[in-house]
Structure 1
Amino acid sequence: MHFISKELYFPPVESATVDGIVAIGGDLSPERLLLAYRSGIFPWFEDDEPIMWWSPPERMVLFFEDLKISKSMRNVLNQKKFTITFNVAFREVITNCKKIARKDQPGTWITDDMVEAYCNLNRMGIAKSVEVWQEGKLVGGLYGVDLGNIFCGESMFSHVSNASKVAFIYLAQYLEQKQYRLLDCQVYNDHLATLGCVEIEREDFITILQA
């Protein structure tokens, strides 16, 4: 495990711990965050911890041809009860992701510093969001980092049933239309698996990222 300070670098992802920790320390400057994502690394830590940089041995991703839309979700989409926008309320989305209660998690890993760091990336056109509205209210969404060929999803939230799934499906279809290679979802969870996401080896992810 490597400790970093002001120098703008990351060690090779192959040097990560078994769990996937590449480095500890540094900052959340736009330059460091962009270098991290372009290297297959992302920050993940809590308020009382130093900044921890991860590149897990297995990466959860969506190849767009594998996107699964259940019959019930197709019905939801066809009902058109949601309005979907792209990158018009980034701060509201990340703030909701920060505040939403999550199963088996006592708090959030989205610290105040992370909110400001990703809002900076948004102003630079690098971090982007998907918003889901119902009757004029923001009821779901997601945000992530747009590398131009891969979108690195960070977090999503939902205040009403299916809102986050609608955001995910919209994003996947949008990225496929724009000929992105894949949607990076970082680590496994059951919710993502139902949408067609799969785990691939870190080296395979890095190969796609750098292609």
Structure 2
Amino acid sequence: MKLKLPTRAAAPAATVPAQVGTPGTRGPKGTKAARTKAKKKKLKKRATEAEAAEATATPTERDPRIRWALFNGGAAAAGHLAIWSVTGDPMAGTDFMARMTISVPELAAAGLTFGGLVAGWKGAGLVQLHRIPGLFGLAARPVAAIGAAMWGQGTAPVVRDAMYAIEPWGTTLAPLLAAGPVAAALWWGLDRRAREAAPLVRWFARVPLATVTVSSLLYAPGVVL
């Protein structure tokens, strides 16, 4: 009688786990990269939308040239309306400029007189004449200023002859010679001092200068033609 020995069961085949990150599979590394890329794309889209919204919401600035024209044009109009209300003539500023143009030699002599007064006083100080001891040092500045002013007072005939010599340029430049010193004095005395003041104060300070400028511009074409 034969005995049957028990047979050993075959061991099950070992299963090999799939490798992570191999081509064709979506492992943890590939998923993280995709999420990072999508997040960056989303943030970039939000930033672009925010910039577009900010650009749309920003108000447009006014052109400074238009503001300058309104500021000076309004000042000139106010000055001419004031002259019109006082004289009854809307072109009274132009007539006044014509009288000034005829008196250019006298106005030039007045300007040279004042300029000579200042130059004589300053010149004596620059050469240190006032430091000379005695009476001469005390009188150096006044004498120099008075002498230069007397020279300027007698320059009207010289200016008139010079204008006749350069005709027709003398007649063409006469309005500028008449209005230039007046405009410079108004700028120095009023407009420059009100530079840091409130806008309304600066506008009122600009009225005389704008009025003189526009009056000269209205008068000049007639002289040229």
Instruction: Work out whether the TM-score is over 0.5.
Output: no
Calculate the TM-score normalised by the size of structure 1: 0.28
Calculate the TM-score normalised by the size of structure 2: 0.27
